[in-house]
Structure 1
Amino acid sequence: MAGLRTSLDIVLLRTFLEVVESGGFAAAAERLALTPSAVSGHIKRLERAAETRLLARTTRRLQMTSAGELLFTYARNIVGLEREARARLGGETLHGRLRIGASEDFAGSWLPEVLETFHRWHSRAVIELKVGITADLIERLRAGALDVVFGKRCARAPEEGELLWEEELVWAYGAHRAFDVTAEVPLALFPEPCVYREAAIAALSLADRPWRLAFESGSMAGCLAAARAGFAVTPVARSQLREGLRTLASDEGMPGLPNACFYAFAGNGTAGTSALIAEVKEAGRRRRFAGAPDSLRLHESMPTGRLPPGF
């Protein structure tokens, strides 16, 4: 991409990020409120401006080329800086107290990055954070003790909350530990009520797979440590997997699990809660797709015949 004769349009860069992060043209079109053909047109224009192919298609996958991976990294920074500049120039600095509730997986993985950005944009806002079980936090929200809650479900809840993203729930176990497929499944679980606990027990019961509670902790770090040690199996969202862990699947006698659905539950419609929810949604997508993924599975609804040149 050296010596480009045409500037890179930020609108086209946003579209490129959406295609990469959402996994296909149709999903990107839905997020951007565009038609799939318009999204395809944006990618064609961006490739012409970059004077190189950015995406390549195999039989069932959409892959970034090496140039695409390079542009992906720069585009995230460019778009992020543009958002920050607009917020600053628009005088959108927030004041006052914002009371946040978050489940531990949010607080440990997503919120640090979000709060760093939020504080940079809104340095005069005062943040209160309460970490706990999603169901308990929602009760506090309803009682008026919190302004916004970030939590999870193992099923869509259309009647309340804003769906931020979904991801696969998996069985985590020690990467270098042998797993006995004939024995009772030792589980490391959060105390009740916990949607991961409920989903794990329901899946094992439905599959007639014997299980026992081997470890119980209100800490995600504790459950992951038990799994890493080979002491127990714990259900986690795939993004929560860490070094030293692997996933157990059907070939080791483990049933499938539902998706983890991450939600924002807002008690009011203030500018502060809206800005924070938007930043969490953006940061969650950045973190999930950090490091320029090697490949992206195409959505079944992705239009054929509308791909950039050379596909």
Structure 2
Amino acid sequence: MQSANSIETGSAAGSSSLDIVLLRTFLQVVDAGGFALAGDQLALTPSAVSGHIRRLEEGVGAKLLARTTRRLDLTQAGETLYMYARNIVDLEREARAKLHGDAVHGRLRVGASEDFAGTWLPQVLQTFRRWHPDATIELKVGITADLLRQQARGKLDVVFGKQCTRIGDGTSDEGALLWAEPLVWAYSQAAGLELDAPVPLAVFPDPCVYRESALAALAAQARPWRIAFESGSMAGCVAAALAGFAVTPLARSQLRDGLRELDAADGLPELPDVQFYAFVRKVAPAVTALVKAVCELGTKNRFAGAASR
């Protein structure tokens, strides 16, 4: 009898089937960027994770991952399966929520830095709405420190924000780390940067962890700089970088067509990692579901961005 946790491939290669447990492991390996990290998140040993991937590859009759000592890449077959696996796992989760009556109701008050609101949150909300159509979300976009102060006053249920270091910002909240990635210098692919001139910067007004990290790194290298563009909008800073008007610090996964990453060859210092957090005021099913969706999408996009470069 066919297992309830499997889906027939209908192909000659797999008289076997796509086991959803194996698909979950595959997605976690790709999203985490490695077997050990995936094992930690799934509470499995690395050898068990490797066994799951081997069984999945045998079932589909194709190599899914190209592994070296330093990196992990998807093969063409792996990229195809990843898209289908993501949809299969999402649909399975949605079906379980419907069948078990796990859908949530009521209003969820969300605070998000513009990184989240402009990059990841739209896709997350689309998925969340499908899972919980009766829930209402009230969104407040702002600077992480300001959002945390509003949360402390009981005005927000969950805050998605970022930090480059644990700096004193007047708050004592400890968030749950979702993922970390490098902060990079972003500039137009079509423009060159003068090595002897002060670095023109496009930054947010104070307080901003990207701004603070960029200025601290330049000061440590004694590299002259000037504020060429200041905006409270991430879109504005990115537009300035795309136009070759100024250099802006961005999380690496937020690089897009028309932007390139500057490095030591351009006379710029290395920037610290940026950490993305979920700050939860009160644990509730809706909050837990939203945080999990953000984490999954963020790690998936981070891996995809790294693999494309």
| Within-5 A mapping of 1:16-165 | 16-58=26-68, 60-155=70-165, 160-165=174-179
| Match of residue 267, structure 2, among 253, 260, 269 | 253
Q: Which amino acid aligns with 2:99?
A: L
Distance (whole Å) between structure 2 residues aligned to residue 25 and residue 159 of structure 1: 32
- The reply on whether 1:203 has 2:217 as its aligned counterpart is yes
- The reply on whether 1:235 has 2:257 as its aligned counterpart is no
Contact 1:104-1:131 at 8 Å conserved across structures: yes
Distance (whole Å) between structure 2 residues aligned to residue 22 and residue 170 of structure 1: 20
Distance (whole Å) between structure 1 residues aligned to residue 235 and residue 260 of structure 2: 16
Structure 1 range deviating more: 160-169 or 113-122: 113-122
- Determine the structure 2 residue equivalent to 1:9: 19
Distance (whole Å) between structure 1 residues aligned to residue 218 and residue 305 of structure 2: 34
Contact 1:72-1:292 at 8 Å conserved across structures: no
Q: Which amino acid aligns with 1:79?
A: V
Distance (whole Å) between structure 2 residues aligned to residue 23 and residue 39 of structure 1: 13
- The reply on whether 1:215 has 2:203 as its aligned counterpart is no
RMSD: 2.0
Structure 1 range deviating more: 140-149 or 65-74: 65-74
CA drift of 1:223 comes to 0.5
Q: Which amino acid aligns with 1:225?
A: A
Q: Secondary structure at the match of 2:223?
A: coil
CA drift of 1:188 comes to 0.7
CA drift of 1:183 comes to 0.6
CA drift of 1:292 comes to 10
Q: Which runs of 5+ in 2 are unaligned?
A: 1-8
Distance (whole Å) between structure 2 residues aligned to residue 126 and residue 194 of structure 1: 29
Contact 1:63-1:294 at 8 Å conserved across structures: no
CA drift of 1:196 comes to 0.3
Q: Which amino acid aligns with 2:174?
A: E
Distance (whole Å) between structure 1 residues aligned to residue 64 and residue 122 of structure 2: 31
- Determine the structure 2 residue equivalent to 1:307: none
Normalising by structure 1, we get a TM-score of 0.90
Distance (whole Å) between structure 2 residues aligned to residue 292 and residue 5 of structure 1: 35
- Determine the structure 2 residue equivalent to 1:308: none
- Determine the structure 2 residue equivalent to 1:309: none
Q: Secondary structure at the match of 2:282?
A: coil
Q: Secondary structure at the match of 1:222?
A: helix
CA drift of 1:155 comes to 2.8
Q: Which runs of 5+ in 1 are unaligned?
A: 296-311
Higher relative contact order (CA 8 A, sep 6+): 1
